Structure 1
Amino acid sequence: MASFVEIDRYNLIPLSLSSLCACPCLPMSNKIIILNQRRYSKFNLRIVFDGSKTMFRVRQSGVSCDRRFVAAVVRTKPDRLDEDDAKEELDKGNNLPVIEDSISERQEKASQLKKRIVFGLGIGISSGGIVLAGGWVFTLAFAAVVFVGAREYFELVRSRGITAGMTPPPRYVSRVCSVICALMPILTLYFGQIDVSVTSAAFIVAMALLLQRGNPRFAQLSSTMFGLFYCGYLPCFWVKLRCGLAAPALNTSFAGIGSAWPIFLGGQAHWTVGLVATLISISSIIAADTFAFLGGKAFGRTQLTSISPKKTWEGTIVGLGGCIATSIALSRIFCWPTSLLSAIAFGFLNFVGSIFGDLTESMIKRDAGVKDSGSLIPGHGGILDRVDSYIFTGALAYSFVKTFLPLYGI
């Protein structure tokens, strides 16, 4: 004999038997379950409780039940499930859709995490090889990343959230600017500096905007100039850092990576100040992001800024500690910089650049009304979502190594 019948994914409500039966029978303290009053296109349910005769029937048109069934429910004996057990079983039945949704959500999160790990490892290994190669390999790969990032930036500028308060630049100007941004790293490597190229590009773009048909707007000029600066000029400092600082970084007595580096790959001379500084800077940024995420999950209580609600002061402090610790550890491995104070200052600058780069991109995405800058990388979003922490850091790292280290002799 069936005590309960599970009806999945339909709203069930308890209803006193007095609302179904008006006969002068025993006091009706027990309750039964009926379907919520909703219409369904195809619905016909029968519940048979003893024997083959239908006692309870639900159709599209309404609910009908046998009078003897109601009386039987009222005169039920204690050997059946009591009211508390019935309520518990009902709660279990009602919670089934929630449990299914929770399982589905966990599976989706696990799938996203797997994608993030797989593609993250692939990006990390590829990027490491490109940084070690240096020269034109590094520059051309970097130019491709800059081009995609510039395209994502100008798409954000043209999004509905930003265009509601400004006039975006024409599409042809956005495409030309994306190409110019991609050419900037190449010109930086070829000429050794970028000032003339940036000035020329800014002048050409400004003239194109001012001479366009219609009514030119200042918002078009400002968003385009910032795009050239954000997506073109600032990333070029990574090329200057990696390829422009060619002084040896390893001590001659160092018996580690440099001495064991193959001759056909450049030998010990391959480990220049630019390569070591780039590796330390990139590793410090990765450590800062990782430690900030873990620290925020474990200790995060105080919101850092409304621009990025998930960032907390606690996570930021943990990220700063992880960034400086990574910089110190790698400085001991590579024997550069030789001073502990220099390693701490270098790690601090890397963290400052990474956090403000992340917040800048978050501000752009918030105004654009989007979660990710793109969908190029599964589980990670767009290129700007992955490189936002590096945009300002290259300029800070290059300025520190080029200016302050020789100045103070550390």
Structure 2
Amino acid sequence: MENILFHATPDAEYTFVLNFSLEVQRGNQSSGESDLDEEHRKKTSQLRKRIIFGLGIGVLVGGVVLAGEWVFTVALSAAVFAGSREYFELVRSRGIASGMTPPPRYVSRACSVICCVMPLLTLYFGHIDVSVTSAAFFVATALLLQRGNPRFSQLSTTMFGLFYCGYLPCFWVKLRCGLAAPALNTRFAASWPLLLGGNTMWTVGLVATLISVSSIIAADTFAFIGGKAFGRTPLIAVSPKKTWEGALVGLGGCIAASVLLAKVFSWPTSTLSAVAFGFLNFFGSLFGDLTESMIKRDAGVKDSGSLIPGHGGILDRVDSYIFTGALAHSFVKTFLPLYGI
């Protein structure tokens, strides 16, 4: 082989080098194409998982909301427990803990249990004030009596965890189960099977919860589609992928869903009230989304966990609902009686 190459003509040598270069280019091109195909397959598989688990979660949540009372509250408590565990893991992550002292693990675990119990106490007693005060006192005492020097960062992150993961979700119990006045104008009540609760099942709390949850889903969906199609102007540095265009499309979708469902359920009877309810739901969902994005950004992670395949952690799925329950309850309990429907 060496003799053949040694005695080869310059043209033959040039042809050999050229062919060798072409083979290398073909190999690199085929390797690049295979990498692109592999990446495309991964994205397709992830999208399929998101759709399948998203539909499954939607059906499950719809059934839980319709069931109400203890079924709804226990399911909410389970979600709160998982979300609070994720929150305290984010607090202990390298990105956040490098700038402050995180709370001890036994305090974090105790807070997760306390947050889980709060919705159950809300359903049983009808209010949450005593539970929150007692929980705050317990946490502050546990942190002050720990070994070493207690730090304010431990107290602040733990108290915010109680507020964020425990107190705020309780308003969904107050909304769904506490507002038990019948929705008299709802057409579903007259034809609803007696086996599934009869016409007494359709309360203001149930209708308000269904409208609120559905409008949040519409807001997220339309904001995603609008951002992909028209997104140009960044909304905020905390969440770089969100745009003003996507937010405006999401707001329109949220208000449209609220008004449409208000017509279907005949509650609230005023279109203006339905528009205001949709705007409030959108504001709460966006604020909750950005708040969780800020926590994840400081923690240096993309997802809060990996509990739900294709969707990340439980906080990634419920962040839009955390603040919205309190706003929706205040709207139905305070705004509508004051200004009428």
TM-score by length of 1: 0.80
CA deviations 1:211-254 (Å, max 9, x no partner) are: 11110000000000000000000000000000000111141xx5
Q: Distance in 2 between matches of 1:167 and 1:239?
A: 33
Greater displacement, 157-166 / 261-270: 261-270
> Which residue matches 2:113?
179
Larger radius of gyration: 1
Aligned twin of 1:373: 304
SS in structure 2 at match of 1:396: helix
**Gaps in structure 1 of 5+ consecutive residues:** 1-53, 56-63
| Alignment partner of 1:243 is 2:243 | no
Q: Quick check: 1:154 aligned with 2:85?
A: no
Instruction: Give the deviation of 1:279 after TM superposition.
Output: 0.4
What is the Cα deviation at residue 91 of structure 1? Answer: 4.4
**Superposition map of 1:11-410 within 5 A:** 54=1, 66-73=5-12, 91-251=25-185, 256-410=187-341
Moved more, 208-217 or 339-348: 208-217
**Higher relative contact order (CA closer than 8 Å, sequence separation 6+):** 2
Cα distance in 2 between the residues matched to 1:283 and 1:65: 77
Aligned-residue offset at 1:408? 1.0
Deviations along 1:15-51, one digit per CA (max 9) or x if unpaired, are xxxxxxxxxxxxxxxxxxxxxxxxxxxxxxxxxxxxx
Task: Kindly indicate whether the alpha-carbon contact (under 8 Å) linking 2:5 and 2:13 is maintained by their aligned counterparts in 1.
Answer: no
What is the aligned-residue RMSD (CA, Å)?
Answer: 1.9
Could you give the per-residue CA deviations for residues 294-323 of structure 1, whole angstroms, max 9, x where no partner exists?
A: 000000000001100000000000000000
What whole-Å deviation, never above 9, does each CA across 1:347-397 have from its counterpart, x for those lacking one?
A: 000000000100000000010111111111111110000000000000000
Counterpart Cα distance in 2 of 1:275 and 1:70:
88
CA contact (8 A) 2:218 2:253 kept: yes
Identity among equivalent pairs (%): 73
Deviation at 1:187, TM superposition (A): 0.3
Deviations 1:271-306 (A, max 9, x none): 110000000000000000000000000000000011
Distance in 1 between residues matched to 2:171 and 2:37, nearest whole Å: 47
Distance (whole Å) between structure 1 residues aligned to residue 41 and residue 4 of structure 2: 42
**Quick check: which one's strand share is greater?**
1
Deviation at 1:89, TM superposition (A): 7.3
Which has a greater percent of helix?
2
Which amino acid letter does the alignment assign opposite residue 67 of structure 2?
Answer: A
State which drifts further: 65-74 or 327-336.
65-74
Give the letter aligned to residue 137 of structure 1. Answer: V
How far the C-alpha of 1:94 sits from its partner, in A, is 2.8
Question: How far 1:261 sits from its partner (Å)?
Answer: 1.1
Q: Is the contact between residue 181 and residue 204 of structure 2 (CA under 8 Å) also seen in structure 1?
A: yes
For structure 2, the 5+ residue unaligned runs are none
Distance (Å, rounded) in 1 between the aligned partners of 2:36 and 2:23: 19
How far apart are the structure 1 equivalents of 2:122 and 2:298? 32
Measured after TM superposition, the shift of residue 86 of structure 1 is 9.7
User: Cα deviations across residues 154-182 of structure 1 (Å, max 9, x unaligned)?
Assistant: 00000111011000000000000000000
